[in-house]
Structure 1
Amino acid sequence: MKLLRKIADTVERNPERPPEAGELRSWPFLTMVLIGVSISVPFFAFGGQLGQHADFATVAIGVILGSVLLGLWGVMTGYVGIVARLPTAMIIQRTFGQRGSMAIVAMMVLTSLCWFGLQTQILVKSLAAILRTQLAFELDERIGVVLVGALIASTAIIGVKAMGKVAVVSVPLLLTATLVPLAIGLDRHGLAGLFAPRTIAEPMGLGMIVSVVVGAEVFGCSINPDLSRFLRTGRDNATAMTINYAVAFPLLLILAAALGTLYGNADLVATMLAAGIALPGTLIVILATWTSNDKNLYASGLALSALFPRVERWQLAVVAGVLGTCLAAADILGHFIVWLTFMGLLIAPMSGAYVADFLMKRRRYTDADASIPAFRTAPLLAWLFGIVIGVATLPRANVGLGLFEITHAPTVDALLAAMLFLFVADRLTGARPATALS
């Protein structure tokens, strides 16, 4: 009974209540978790792809510019979490209303689950390839998906404490280990290998690289309150977000692009094999997926708590783990990219709306006794307006309308459009009595 009681005390509960004083953390905690989330197999594939579509100098500049924008947005969304002391899904209830937020929360759950399924599937495929080439062992991928899904789910079910402990152990190992193939590649090809002229089949310009970098991480920025609510001060938030998005994120992405340039491959496992460190690289692949994927599952559980408030968070995390594992077993990897593009356009204006509404009506997010209406029309219209602008600026090659361009980054266009709409709506209705638009 003592063991069960200790486990029960360890598991995080009641996401709707503000964290207690003993649960608050300083900036190193969030920094470690966020960096651990960044280091993932899809992340390295993404950086490697950038290295295949532009020269290294252009990639580096584009990554730095995009990361600065992400850092600014990360500080803003994280600050909302610190002040409100609520997870993202419960913040957007106050923005869009109890019923008005349900579809958005459902999309957040689906996006997190798809990320979980995608990364789990990639990890299992990577492990299967390493075991096949190095040990001549054929891994049943469906069994691997179940085992890996259960392993990663364990820390997300417990909560932030377990995620933080995994990150503290994993991140230093990952940062050290990922430098090994880079050192081997530079030893073989020299520094000139990074900047040597080469044929680029589908070149990307600087603006497109900035757009892709911002679009790839906008969902992660949008759900920052899930973790930032555990920070002690606004300074902790600014420090953690700056180190992650403006320092660690671009350095790691540039590292991934350098590996893609040196080895001519965006596949992390193929890079490990080419560098001759496949078996040690297995540890990198496992830890990289674990530190990234437990946040996806944790976010899913928190979002489900907003839809099913009477069910314990950890129980919902178990359900999310099962669903995410099923998605991995169903080969979500083959159907994910186009869907993810549209998810970015749906999620970005959501975060733009809740940040804008928070800046104008902070008390709505800090007063625990404030009534939450069923629908709030102005934020919902702002969200829809942002989606329309995002689809209008998305190029036709990416299944958008391609009618015009604003920032050359459709997700940024959608985010800014939602914020502008809400600011204008507030100015137009600010002098009137409270209405459905408020």
Structure 2
Amino acid sequence: MATEDDTPAWRRFVFGDENLPDPDYPLDHVPGDERKGLVSISAVLLGFVFFAGTLWAGAEVGAAMGFGPMLTAMAVGYAILGVYVATLCGVAAKAGLTTVLLARYSFGRYGAKFADLMLGGTQVGWFGVTIPLVAIPTATFFGLDTPTFTAALILVWGVLHLATAYFGYEGMERLSLVAVPVLVVVGLLSMVIAVGDAGGFGGLFGGGGGGMGFAAAVTIVVGTFISGGTQAPNWARFASSSRVGFWAGLVAFLVGNGFLFLSGAVGGAVYDVTPAGDLYEVLAAQGLAAIGLIALILNIWTTNDNAAYAFGVAGSEAFEFDRKRPFILAGGTIGIVLALVGADSLLIPWLSTLGQYVPPLGGVIIADFLLCWRLRVPKMGDVRFAGVRWTGVIAYAVGAVVAVLTAGQVVPGVAAPQLLPGVAGAALNGLVAAVVVHVAVYYLLESQGVLPGHDVAGDAERL
């Protein structure tokens, strides 16, 4: 085997030191001596959830409902989202596996390839549609918002977003430990100034109302990050225990996401900016444009490097290759090209698509590991995986169909009847349907031998 000294530089860049294992274990359980504590896991997950789209959603709901009712809808929605993601994070910490490796248990060796395509492919798209969200304001700030300069910035920011993901969990952790405190301080500062400009809390609670029902508001709250939350196991698997993983997920997706949503609602209620609630535009209206740009850069960066990491580990599972870097670089290149051709215009329909098709996959994983495996997960080396585990496939298909039918819009731009109306929206409907169907099919068919499952060695070690 070649040593690092005689390995070409390009190969070391793409693959890393091939004499050493990938420090992020993209195809294996994270060993006990590589596990992290609550602060580390929470920081990475908080960096992931601090995304501008959540601010806009908060502004939209606050303006339509009024500030008081919005707080109630926010509490209910983020309780649902927080518990869902925290449960996935607890499962991942127990198994020490990424979302796509958990999917291998739930869908089979070849069935998991669909999860790779779904989770990895959608994150490549996410990477592409979000780079312009920081490149365009940067160009505007410097007064050089020409197509050429904007394209150059898309390239620069795309490379920087890839850089921390390229260095794996450690790179994202270091960025998040800097970015998260800064974003919290800036968000609090902006809210304090906004409350003052509104004339106190009375000004906030006095406007809006009547433009949005409670169920629709909860739908938006849950939908802000339920698809992204399904990817949270990619980082929660490093948690030192299931309890640490669970609480880190809850802190990020209940407290962190709720804080960002509230920031958007406050900014949107006080300032007339487009898009409503945008932290950069709000801070610019407060005379703090430079601080706003820094906050926006950190906001997008800490979300987009997580997206790059997600398609990296999905590629590793898809090709069963124990290095994530080649897939980070390849997926990032595609994402940058998408950004250059104007994919940012597809952000809203992209979020809608993710909200319909990704959560049922998380529902299958939760049902499988909690109610079927009962968290007594055998190591991958002790399992002869079925090619396709039809129990999970059937459950996912039903969940996805339920999500589409309850979305109220099957074809973008074309209204469709809500055939199966749901209380908290398509994402939650699809998730719940997938859980119910998976458990039913498992106990009625798979456990009775009607449908095939995996072969587990009799002396298998349980995690």
TM-score for the superposition, normalised by structure 2 = 0.87
Q: Does 1:193 align with 2:206?
A: no
Pairwise CA RMSD: 2.4
> Which residue does the alignment assign to 1:413?
429
Amino acid of the structure 1 residue aligned with 2:436 = L
- Note if contact 2:237-2:245 (Cα within 8 Å) is conserved in structure 1: no
> Which residue does the alignment assign to 1:143?
152
The 1-side partners of 2:434 and 2:121 are apart by 22
Greater fraction of residues in helix: 1
**How far is 1:343 from its partner?**
2.5
Residue among 236, 239, 249 paired with 1:241: 249
- Note if contact 1:79-1:234 (Cα within 8 Å) is conserved in structure 2: yes
- Structure 1 residues 88 and 365 mapped into 2: Cα distance closer, same or farther (>3 Å)? farther
Question: In terms of mean alpha carbon deviation, does 357-366 or 309-318 score higher?
Answer: 357-366
Amino acid of the structure 2 residue aligned with 1:379 = G
Residue among 436, 442, 446 paired with 1:426: 442
Amino acid of the structure 2 residue aligned with 1:390 = A
**How far is 1:109 from its partner?**
1.3
The 2-side partners of 1:180 and 1:375 are apart by 52
Superposed, 1:168-207 pairs within 5 Å as 168-191=177-200, 192-198=202-208, 203-207=211-215
Residue among 428, 434, 451 paired with 1:435: 451
Q: Does 1:116 align with 2:116?
A: no
> Which residue does the alignment assign to 1:395?
408
Deviation readout 1:191-250 (Å, 9 max, x if unpaired): 2221123487xx211211111111221112212211111000122122212222222221
- Structure 1 residues 189 and 340 mapped into 2: Cα distance closer, same or farther (>3 Å)? closer
- Structure 1 residues 364 and 377 mapped into 2: Cα distance closer, same or farther (>3 Å)? farther
Give the share of equivalent positions with the same residue, in percent. Answer: 24
Superposed, 1:342-361 pairs within 5 Å as 342-359=353-370, 360-361=372-373
The 2-side partners of 1:131 and 1:193 are apart by 34
Superposed, 1:272-311 pairs within 5 Å as 272-310=283-321
**How far is 1:364 from its partner?**
5.4
- Structure 1 residues 276 and 105 mapped into 2: Cα distance closer, same or farther (>3 Å)? same
The 1-side partners of 2:414 and 2:441 are apart by 31
Deviation readout 1:20-49 (Å, 9 max, x if unpaired): 333210111111112112222223222222
Q: Does 1:30 align with 2:41?
A: yes
Superposed, 1:295-334 pairs within 5 Å as 295-310=306-321, 312-334=323-345
**How far is 1:11 from its partner?**
6.5
Question: In terms of mean alpha carbon deviation, does 56-65 or 35-44 score higher?
Answer: 35-44
Residue among 272, 279, 302 paired with 1:264: 272
SS of corresponding position for 2:382: coil
**How far is 1:122 from its partner?**
0.6
**How far is 1:14 from its partner?**
3.7
Deviation readout 1:353-395 (Å, 9 max, x if unpaired): 1111112024555343201111111211111111111122222
The 1-side partners of 2:330 and 2:137 are apart by 25
Question: How many pairs align?
Answer: 432
The 2-side partners of 1:428 and 1:406 are apart by 26
SS of corresponding position for 1:140: helix
> Which residue does the alignment assign to 1:231?
239
The 1-side partners of 2:332 and 2:22 are apart by 16
Question: In terms of mean alpha carbon deviation, does 305-314 or 272-281 score higher?
Answer: 305-314
**Structure 1: 5+ residue stretches without partners:** none
TM-score for the superposition, normalised by structure 1 = 0.92
- Structure 1 residues 155 and 431 mapped into 2: Cα distance closer, same or farther (>3 Å)? closer
> Which residue does the alignment assign to 1:166?
175
**Structure 2: 5+ residue stretches without partners:** 455-463
Amino acid of the structure 2 residue aligned with 1:98 = R
- Note if contact 1:259-1:271 (Cα within 8 Å) is conserved in structure 2: yes
Question: In terms of mean alpha carbon deviation, does 425-434 or 186-195 score higher?
Answer: 425-434
> Which residue does the alignment assign to 1:385?
398
The 2-side partners of 1:437 and 1:21 are apart by 28
- Structure 1 residues 176 and 74 mapped into 2: Cα distance closer, same or farther (>3 Å)? same
The 2-side partners of 1:308 and 1:423 are apart by 29
